[in-house]
Structure 1
């Protein structure tokens, strides 16, 4: 088996599919994966024999991988990634690994702490005019306040109270999404899928930002799962994470008449805790946080009102300066 280094070449998804058709029906993903392995190996200046020694994987197995024959196990891919000093994401074709600039940016950010990554994200947002860097965000976000958090945190109840107190419009994004789609959220997801729902969600955010310079916006709990929409929200709104205990989330949703979360009992609570844990790192990107389980409704509202009024006043003062 030859161990010479193959020339680096580009292989787009359509080219991969075409090559697959010309190569006995090999799966396009496996063909493209093999091409990426060859490209990265060439970039590293490694022969296939050297890669085989570094990974403890036979040359024949590596050849099959490189030419899209057979399906390599995840562990083999991990060994190959380690030997080639690249990430599994690069090997699998993550878009953020497909140009030298992307790779150099990833290298600069690798192993940085959360505070540094946040500053980098804000600086990139400032450069592109779409992020949440404080200096420029004030002029973009006006007096919009977005409440984020899981369903049952109090976004609708507290948001409507706050909007009335401030004399601002109250925008519930879930209702706006349903208006765009002409059907309910569950129907959107059931009929058209999650991707369609995210498109409607993004459109609802964009329109709210365009129409309302002042507003209290209650967001769907899963909005933070879409980085593009969440970045848009962070860049154009003062954000508050309304937090609550899992038990309170569950009880409040049930009190609204929705008994679906109670189906499965313990399993439902475990799922809820898992969702909260998975989203907490994203919710924590909000500028402010308020625990809605700590106090009854009225003291909680007063705390939110003070927090938001102070934030808006500070923004107006610093923007005027």
Structure 2
């Protein structure tokens, strides 16, 4: 965070300490979610129609007082604020009680419960899932290079979810985002992944780095494919992308490395849910490929 942002995180005199802390927490949460999406503040402003200036105020704890009033209403009703602003259909009583029950336990228990339910779903199709291998991770980790090598080695199709999405939408990714926005992209992402799984018994898939930003789509990937997170240090991610002749990560953004580190930090918890993690830092392509074969052999 810049010095200007630090200096602007001053308490609002018209609010209580607890209310100020809530606005600061909300700002941090929005900034973290923006990082998980891999979006700059300018990108979010374009997608949301909200000015960069207001987003900056929101992220430094100076959000509109209306959010405090909405929070007070939620507290008066005895419900979490998320229940007031949820857009999807009302969830079943069973799911509501299950979520409430799980909140009583530490995060480690949540992981155990998710794995238990996942194993139950996979019990009849475990061998099929092992034939479908998906790579996730940020650009520069080696997904395309290693994925191509693995597909040739196994004699199965090599697929890139980004290209499948473009086929589904009839437009390239930049057009999807500029014309339809993030929500439409995630919808096409879901359709593309469902199509790939339904039409192929075995494959190597490059799922991309941002799929973890949409929990429903990432859950579908985890339950349908043997998922491998290819990771590397931020410095290696950046240097490999630039070595390929792509200087866009640095264009017009002197804080590109900090943005990259923030994105990686924001996504690490979800990336870690993969079946296997392979660190390609300081490894040759051949060494990393042998690491993948060793994981698959286990």
TM-score above 0.5? yes
- Give the whole-Å Cα distance in 1 for the aligned partners of 2:202 and 2:297: 13
- Give the whole-Å Cα distance in 1 for the aligned partners of 2:180 and 2:87: 25
Larger radius of gyration: 1
Aligned counterpart for 2:245 among listed residues 240, 257, 261: 257
- Kindly tell me: are residues 151 and 124 of structure 1, through their superposed partners in 2, closer, same or farther at Cα, counting changes over 3 Å? same
Q: Whose RCO is larger (CA < 8 A, sep 6+)?
A: 2
Number of aligned pairs? 235
Offset at residue 124 of structure 1 (A)? 4.2
Offset at residue 156 of structure 1 (A)? 0.4
- Give the whole-Å Cα distance in 2 for the aligned partners of 1:193 and 1:203: 16
Offset at residue 100 of structure 1 (A)? 3.6
Partner of 1:227: 215
After TM superposition, list the pairs within 5 Å mapping 1:218-297 onto structure 2. Answer: 218-297=206-285
Q: Would you say the 8 A contact 1:96–1:102 is kept in 2?
A: no
Aligned counterpart for 2:81 among listed residues 85, 88, 92: 88
Partner of 1:207: 195
Partner of 1:55: none
- Give the whole-Å Cα distance in 1 for the aligned partners of 2:125 and 2:240: 34
Aligned counterpart for 2:66 among listed residues 67, 73, 93: 73
- Kindly tell me: are residues 199 and 294 of structure 1, through their superposed partners in 2, closer, same or farther at Cα, counting changes over 3 Å? same
CA offsets 1:168-220 (integer angstroms, 9 cap, x no match): 21111112222223332112211222222222211221121122211111112
Find the residue that maps to 1:219 and give its secondary structure.
strand
Aligned counterpart for 2:175 among listed residues 151, 163, 187: 187
Partner of 1:114: 107
Give unmatched runs, 5+ long, in structure 2: 1-63
- Give the whole-Å Cα distance in 2 for the aligned partners of 1:181 and 1:81: 39
Indicate the RMSD between aligned Cα atoms, in angstroms.
2.4
- Kindly tell me: are residues 72 and 95 of structure 1, through their superposed partners in 2, closer, same or farther at Cα, counting changes over 3 Å? farther
CA offsets 1:73-97 (integer angstroms, 9 cap, x no match): 3334444544554322124346587
- Kindly tell me: are residues 76 and 192 of structure 1, through their superposed partners in 2, closer, same or farther at Cα, counting changes over 3 Å? closer
CA offsets 1:268-305 (integer angstroms, 9 cap, x no match): 11111111111111111101000011322211111112
* TM-score, with structure 1 as normaliser: 0.66
Find the residue that maps to 1:171 and give its secondary structure.
strand
- Give the whole-Å Cα distance in 2 for the aligned partners of 1:233 and 1:188: 21
